[in-house]
Amino acid sequence: MKSFIISLFTLLIVSSGCITQVETIPTLEFASQQLELLIAESDANLDAENRSNRGRLIAPRTVEGGELHFVHSGDWTSGFFPGVLWQMYELTGEEKWAESAKTYTSLVEREKRNGRTHDMGFKVYCSFGQGYRLTKDMDYRDVIIESANTLITRFNPTIGAIRSWDHNTDKWEHPVIIDNMMNLELLFRATQETGDSTYYNIAVSHANTTLREHFREDNSSYHVIDFYPETGEVRKRNTHQGYAHESAWARGQAWGLYGFTMSYRFTQDPAYLEQAQKIAAFILTHPNMPDDLVPYWDFNAPDIPNEARDVSAATIISSALFELSSMIEGEQATYYENVANKILANIDAKYRSDIGDNFGFLLDHSTGNHPKDSEVDVPINYADYYYLEAFSRSLGN
């Protein structure tokens, strides 16, 4: 494995050319101007007491058809906007960002007892988790612990994994999606805060099941693995949001890279580090990866190069590579860091919103669910979240 990665480094560092470090001041100035606009739009939405049939609309998610779309707290993306604001507070030290972050974080709290979804990490850890990290507010800690207790109710010990979706029961019995790796950070943190190993053990079991069942021989992953709940055996393997069941959905590959890198941080299990490196190799050496390292929405989409890009996948990959670079030494670490910086530099050059456009979203050209023609080539809040996280990590935070 080591010799392969070094060869990979040699191949790509030559082809990458000179990598320029992202500049701090322009990025923060840009983000500040855009997010002030998005906060104004979001505050106006709250003032209007907008409501949907599933609860109050609280957080901006995307722009489609020239309209700004908000979501209720139960949407899996509801925690990203407050998370973006917490990151701006960390990057600038300006209290105005913390005040807005507190407002939008509080609107997610009702989700701490919502056991109908696996997305507790996305919703609660990206909001309350970031807030607790920066403020040490014990009320935030309590929400994190209660949310973790809710999440583990979805764990099936026979399968060894947390159930993902409850919908489409005609298709799946116990679906587990690669995205679910991202929710494990909430459980790892809960053990750190309480000393109770229950959360840690469930997170490790889930990661091990994912490692065993989700990946193909080339280290690409399926999106959905469905299990028989009674036996733990695999029932089917699907790629629900990708081009085809055997294709490599770009954001799914990014979730896997990030998820196993993060899991290694908490466990120091070398199998997780090795898997993260294997996923990185699959992504970065894929023949359909564009030169600017912003992938098409699926690596096997049929009309490449005339397919939509997914900037959100690129931001997740960049953030994960920065962390991965900190876990190893030598040329390999330098390679990961350089590629992560190159992704950020290319996003800044080609995929940012124009100042004043997109209602204040930072980035454009992400893809949500291409098979359903939903959120294709648009701004999406989780792209902004992982963009700022990657930028922060590029500064050594």
Q: List helix spans (H) across 184-249.
A: 184-194, 197-213
Residue 82 CB partners (closer than 8 Å, separation 6+): 59, 101, 104, 105, 107, 108, 126, 127, 130, 131
* Contact of 25 with 347, CB cutoff 8 Å: no
| CA 26 from centroid of its chain's CA atoms | 24
Distances in Å between the Cα of 20 and the Cα atoms of 9, 17, 222, 339, 349 are: 17, 10, 34, 10, 12
**Catalytic, out of 43, 47, 75, 119:** 119
* Sequence letter at residue 242: G
Could you tell me which of 147, 321, 157 has the C-alpha nearest to residue 232?
Answer: 157
Q: Cite the beta strand spans of the chain per DSSP E.
A: 51-52, 55-64, 67-72, 155-156, 161-162, 175-177, 224-227, 234-238, 366-369, 374-378
Could you tell me which of 183, 215, 225 has the C-alpha nearest to residue 202?
Answer: 183
**Catalytic, out of 75, 179, 298, 364:** 179
Catalytic residue at 179? yes
* Contact of 201 with 195, CB cutoff 8 Å: no
Would you say how long the chain is, in residues? 397
The number of beta carbons lying within 10 Å of the beta carbon of residue 396 is 7
Catalytic residue at 119? yes
* Contact of 71 with 374, CB cutoff 8 Å: no
CA distance 5 to 96: 44
Phi, psi of 376 (to 5 degrees): -105, 125
Which residues pair with residue 227 across a beta bridge? 234
| 3 state SS of 130 | helix
Residue 27 CB partners (closer than 8 Å, separation 6+): 348, 391
* Burial environment of residue 344 by CB neighbours within 10 A (0 to 12, 13 to 18, 19 or more): buried
Residue positions annotated with a catalytic role:
119, 179
